[in-house]
Structure 1
Amino acid sequence: MLSRRAKITLLVLGIALLTAGCSAANPNHPLPINPNGGIWDRYIVFPLSWLLQRSAETFGGSYGIAILIVTILVRLVILPLTIKQTKSQKKMQELQPEMNKIKEKYKNDPQKQQQEMMKLYQLHGANPLAGCLPIFIQMPILLGFYHAIIRTAQIRQHDFLWLQLGAKDPYYILPVLAGLTTYLQQVIMMRYNPAMGDNPQMKMMTYVMPVMIFVIAISLPSALSLYWVYGNIFTTIQNYFLYRNRDTGAAPKGGVSK
């Protein structure tokens, strides 16, 4: 299990990456990609941009299709991490009844409560942080793909369907689709994860997130909204297959000492 210092380091690293990403990939004034620049551009953004350009060449110069192809490829690359994260979440969900018993039994003794929690985790091979680590690994990849889309000049100059990829959707169709697919993604998660469904905050986010995505997508170039829609559809299908066979009522064998 990671130490407190390691957890803080990972959190700071994630925030730093996100902050750097937002400044470099400003949709209105994106910085050009420097293939000979630092680690970020050279090893993450430039390869993804190159892949987008080669995909477009393969499909008749269509960057709309190129974004779809690379979105699928990127999501497939990080799929093992997603599966690991899902398994960890499932394990923690199965342990939830035992964890609640420990909390109730030792509610006046936090130190003993923590000790019994650690015993429970060790007994069942669970790690509360295992579900978080894949997120930190996925973050640079997804953020790098965001960079590649917004900072590849050729994308901003191309059309796809009714869209000018470098401009906002004039009919707001993509922002609406982005909001709807975000909602569908949340509903699938809630349906197959009762623990989330019982959380009032999660229920509220099911409705708040789609509205936020819609509002943000209105002002973004269509290329990014298209990426969101593609990504949401992939994630919705992925979550359906990952969560549909989960036995949410299963209780772990063995328990805490009485």
Structure 2
Amino acid sequence: MAGCSAANPNHPLPIDPHGGIWDRFFVFPLSWLLQRSAEFFGGSYGIAILIVTVLVRLVILPLTIKQTKNQKRMQEIQPEIVKIREKYKNDPQKAQQEIMKVYQMHNANPITGCLPVFIQMPVLLAFYHSIIRTAQIRSHDFLWLQLGAKDPYYILPILAGLTTFLQQLIMMRYSPTMSENPQMKMMTYIMPVMIFVIAISLPSALSLYWVYGNIFTTIQNYFLYRDKGNAPKGGLAK
């Protein structure tokens, strides 16, 4: 709760480089990197947000790749797990033992697949804080935007929604688990609308970060999830 109040877009707390662990070792280094990047690119914080977004995503990319590989293995063995559960539906303990054998055989672990997400979240949250709580960003312009104010033309919120939809579409296209899940299909259309509505009320700097991050993730997921040998015909597979 303290972290959320510190990063309130309307009343953000200043970053204390000598404060607690969160500000000192997570938020301040990213804020410093944003400021140095802006200086290198002629004072443009719009470009600085792009550069640091790419750098942060590249740093956590190995974790993302590991997570994706584990998800693919889980998808591949899912039919075998379904057969085991059906075969031993009256003996849950035996079913669990057989499923664990399958996990070990294929070097798959459903819990391990979640670990990269928990490691990535503090980094991404710290970057969110660094954007909101760096005072210089709020006072700068980029293109038609005042980075500390809402987009008056709603262009960024629309782009945030569209890039979220494209990101979800890529994952649906190449992930059988998602494409066969009715709830996930529904979220493909609900999430972009939610992002658009939220982005309308946020400072442009955050919406810009969302757009940059969505574009990077879309490209990343295209290369991580696609399977040239089994890609569906037409559309994004081409």
Same fold (TM over 0.5): yes
Distance across 1 between alignment mates of 2:92 and 2:230: 28
**Equivalent residues of 2:75, 2:176 under 8 A apart:** no
Aligned to 2:33: 51
Deviation at 1:24, TM superposition (A): 1.4
**1:205 match:** 187
Question: What amino acid is the match of 2:126?
Answer: G
Alignment match of 1:134 (pick from 116, 124, 128) = 116
Aligned: 1:61 with 2:50: no
Query: Secondary structure of 1:23's partner?
Result: helix
Query: Which position in structure 1 is the counterpart of 2:71?
Result: 89
**3-state DSSP class of the match of 2:53?**
helix
Contact 1:192 1:246 (C-alpha < 8 Å) held by counterparts: no
Q: Does structure 2 conserve the Cα–Cα contact (< 8 Å) formed by 1:150 and 1:224?
A: yes
Partner of 1:124: 106
CA distance in 1, matches of 2:52, 2:92: 48
Kept in 2: contact 1:168–1:220 (CA 8 A)? yes
Q: Does 1:75 align with 2:68?
A: no
Which residue pairs with 1:235 in the alignment? 217
Q: Does 1:216 align with 2:201?
A: no
Shift of 1:126: 1.1
State, as a whole percentage, how many aligned pairs show the same letter. Answer: 84
- Partner residue in 1 for 2:234: none
8 Å Cα contact 1:93/1:248 also seen in 2: no
Post-superposition offset of 1:196: 0.6
Task: Tell me what 2:207 maps to.
Answer: 225
How much does 1:21 deviate? 3.0
Q: Unpaired runs of 5+ in structure 2?
A: 232-238
Distance 1:98 1:247, change over 3 A: farther
Q: 1:248 to 1:21 in 2, by over 3 A?
A: farther
Residues 93/248 of structure 1: CA separation in 2 closer, same or farther (3 Å cut): farther
| Aligned match of 2:165 | 183
CA shift for structure 1 position 202: 0.3
Q: Unmatched 5+ residue regions in structure 1?
A: 1-18, 250-258
Deviation digits for residues 113-136 of structure 1, max 9, x if unmatched?
Answer: 111111111121111112100000
For the aligned residue pairs, the C-alpha RMSD in angstroms reads 1.2
- Code of the residue aligned with 2:152 in structure 1: it is P
Say if 1:190 and 1:196, in contact at 8 Å, map to a contact too. Answer: yes
Cα distance change, pair 41–246 in 1 and its aligned pair in 2 (3 A): farther
Residue 244 of structure 1: CA displacement? 1.3
Partner of 1:245: 227
Cα deviation 1:40-67 (Å, max 9, x = unaligned): 0000100000000000000000000000
Distance (whole Å) between structure 1 residues aligned to residue 109 and residue 228 of structure 2: 19
Alpha carbons 1:193, 1:248 under 8 Å: kept: no
| TM norm structure 1 | 0.87
Number of equivalent positions: 231
